[in-house]
Amino acid sequence: MHDAEGRTHPDDDRAHEYRAQDWPQLVMPMWGRQETHAPLRRLLAQSTLKSTQMKVAFVTFGCRLNRAESLDLEARYRAAGHEIIDVGNIPSPGGPRPVAAAIPDLILVRGCSVTAKAQRDCEKAIAHLRARFPTTEIHPIGCLPYAQAWTNPVIPMGADTATTTIPTKNSRAYLKIQDGCSGRCTFCIVPHFRGTSVSVPFNEIMARTKTFLAAGYHEIVLTGCNLSLYKSDGYNLASLLDILAEQGTTTERTETVPMRIRLGSLEPGNGCEQILDVMTEHPNICRFLHLSLQSGSNHILKRMNRPYDIDLVDRFCTKAQERLGPDLALGADVITGFPGETDEDFAATRAFLVRHAFSNLHVFPYSERPGTPAATMDGVVPRAVRLLRARNLTALGHVQRAAFAQTFLGREVEVCVERGGEHGWTDAYLPCKWEGPAERRSLVRKRIIAVSGDTLLASIRKG
């Protein structure tokens, strides 16, 4: 799968130019239209997929929610008797061609259109796959203008769907609790594809959580398009989090807990202070809060039509750090060069990130997304300035993350073990490495003896 964690890359249009003749068998529209493009309609009409066992591959772009949805769908195909294969990463231009384990019968590409660049990347990947696998059915799903609805495969009668449809690829479980967004941010196209906010029923969430735990997962990551909007059966996000955390509560922070909960990205406001109450009560909720901040300037937040001002976020961050202590990791999504952003606006954003020592920054230079109000706003910031500001904040993030990692030197941390058994993630979302295998997906405690950049290096704990 492609990286879904928002790493920053230069958004230079010239690096992504293409010609229609570079797209074998399939030419897709760039923006905005919901109807299926004619060549794709013909392709779908000629579909030869059968109900017999197939070799199926998944290629996923975008956010953690996209990844969670792909993992769930992959598990369903496996439960239905199909073979899941890996087609390798999509190569960069001029790079080596990856080697697939086999020729797939079906490739499902879960796309992302959150920015113009994101959609271009998806379209280029589909073109590459069609050239590489000319006899394979390739279907775009997810957040793309020409994506099609995709039904779940039929699982054999008598199968225990509660257990057979659990994803097994990851070391941490992604639990989708919400989809869609009721906001109308001027830069965002997501509600156009995902609709308004819809919450997964409480009982379904609890059943899925218990199944994840029974399958051996010890960290559950709550995912959604806008988690702060969760509301179902009388529960909001804070009360849901409270009950989920009770599935693995211990009384002492120094003890290994049987499971822990990690929150995905939060929008400031919408009951966030209630979440602090719950986190204070439950030590097995990861000390990590990632905010969809976007800017530290009230002027820009207003132009973005964000539902908060920076004073609210400032008060929340201050209370979070006071109540949860110095081990709390703060993260943020930030857009640089939004229309109208002045040097003073950028300076305000940078100062805010410094004041609260954000240690996990996802920085994006603004990219015009056709179909959004921001795409036609005045005050366009030159692309070079957008990139320069993004690099500035990215560098700041690296410095602050390394400084935060240093605070754990000589201390013990709890780590969720990843594949291979010699590395994992702390609850503050720092990578940790050690020698000697540990059980994948387990929660272990490690004493930190050195720090390299943002990576914690641990010794083997005896006894």
Render pLDDT for 30-88 as a digit per residue (tens, 0 to 9).
223 333 334 444 444 344 454 578 899 999 998 888 888 888 888 889 888 899 888 87
Do 182 and 44 belong to one domain? no
Please give the pLDDT value at position 99.
Answer: 58
Please give the pLDDT value at position 371.
Answer: 87
Average pLDDT over residues 391-415: 97
For residue 327, the domain's CATH number is: 3.80.30.20
Q: Which residue has the tokens 């997962």?
A: 217
Helices (H), 147-260: 161-164, 190-194, 202-214, 237-245
Report d(CA 290, CA 146) in Å as an integer: 31
Give the C-alpha distances (Å, rounded to integers) separating 372 from 115, 347, 366, 452. Answer: 10, 26, 13, 42
Q: Which two tokens stand for residue 281?
A: 């009560």
Report d(CA 182, CA 195) in Å as an integer: 8
Comparing CA positions, the residue from 11, 91, 107, 109 lying closest to residue 56 is 107
Please give the pLDDT value at position 64.
Answer: 84
Q: Is residue 225 part of a domain?
A: yes
Do 210 and 264 belong to one domain? yes
Please give the pLDDT value at position 164.
Answer: 64
Last residue within a domain, chosen from 379, 406, 433: 406
pLDDT at 221 over 70: yes
Q: Is residue 156 part of a domain?
A: no
Q: Is residue 8 part of a domain?
A: no
Q: Express each pLDDT in 112-155 by its tens digit.
A: 888 888 888 898 999 999 999 999 999 998 888 877 777 777 77
Do 301 and 189 belong to one domain? yes
More confident position, 28 or 224? 224
pLDDT at 353 over 70: yes
Q: Express each pLDDT in 157-210 by its tens digit.
A: 655 555 567 888 889 999 999 998 888 999 998 888 888 899 999 999 999 999
Last residue within a domain, chosen from 406, 425, 443: 406
Q: Which two tokens stand for residue 20?
A: 């229609």
Q: What is the pTM of this model?
A: 0.81
Backbone angles phi, psi at 318, to 5 degrees: -60, -45
Report d(CA 245, CA 281) in Å as an integer: 9
Q: Is residue 155 part of a domain?
A: no
Report d(CA 342, CA 339) in Å as an integer: 9
Please give the pLDDT value at position 344.
Answer: 98
Do 385 and 427 belong to one domain? no
Report d(CA 422, CA 416) in Å as an integer: 10
Length of the chain: 463
Last residue within a domain, chosen from 77, 107, 142: 142
Q: Is 312 exposed, middle or buried (0-12, 13-18, 19+ CB in 10 A)?
A: middle
Q: Express each pLDDT in 83-120 by its tens digit.
A: 988 887 665 555 555 555 678 999 999 988 888 888 88
Instruction: Flag the least confident range among 205-209, 268-272, 308-312, 373-377.
Output: 268-272
Do 260 and 115 belong to one domain? no
Q: Which two tokens stand for residue 221?
A: 């990551």
Q: Which residue has the tokens 């229609």?
A: 20
Do 351 and 262 belong to one domain? yes
Please give the pLDDT value at position 159.
Answer: 58
Q: Express each pLDDT in 242-299 by its tens digit.
A: 999 998 644 444 444 479 999 999 999 878 889 999 999 999 999 999 999 999 999 9
Tally of CA atoms within 13 A in the half-sphere of 105 that contains its CB? 14
Q: Is residue 131 part of a domain?
A: yes
Q: Is 231 exposed, middle or buried (0-12, 13-18, 19+ CB in 10 A)?
A: middle
Q: To the nearest whole percent, how much of the chain has pLDDT over 90?
A: 56
Please give the pLDDT value at position 292.
Answer: 95
More confident position, 52 or 421? 421
Boundaries of domain holding 242 = 164-406
Do 239 and 387 belong to one domain? yes
For residue 101, the domain's CATH number is: 3.40.50
Do 133 and 186 belong to one domain? no
pLDDT at 375 over 60: yes
pLDDT at 28 over 70: no
Do 400 and 451 belong to one domain? no
Please give the pLDDT value at position 161.
Answer: 59
Torsion angle, alpha carbons of 83, 88, 89, 92, to 10 = -140
Q: How many CB atoms lie within 10 A of CB 133?
A: 17
Do 426 and 399 belong to one domain? no
Report d(CA 281, CA 259) in Å as an integer: 15
Do 197 and 309 belong to one domain? yes
Q: Is residue 442 part of a domain?
A: yes
Q: Which two tokens stand for residue 295?
A: 């800017």
Q: Which residue has the tokens 């779908």?
A: 44
Do residues 130 and 122 lie in contact, with contact meaning Cβ atoms separated by under 8 Å?
no
Q: Are strands 106-111 and 55-60 parallel, antiparallel or unpaired?
A: parallel
Q: Is residue 200 part of a domain?
A: yes
pLDDT at 3 over 90: no
User: Three-state SS for 453?
Assistant: coil
CA terminus-to-terminus distance, the chain: 37
Do 419 and 383 belong to one domain? no
Q: To the nearest whole percent, how much of the chain has pLDDT over 70?
A: 81
Q: Is residue 206 part of a domain?
A: yes
Look up residue 48 and give its amino acid: T
Do residues 26 and 40 lie in contact, with contact meaning Cβ atoms separated by under 8 Å?
yes
Please give the pLDDT value at position 163.
Answer: 59
Comparing CA positions, the residue from 122, 8, 31, 112 lying closest to residue 369 is 31
Tally of domains in the chain: 3
Do residues 324 and 287 lie in contact, with contact meaning Cβ atoms separated by under 8 Å?
yes
Average pLDDT over residues 211-231: 92
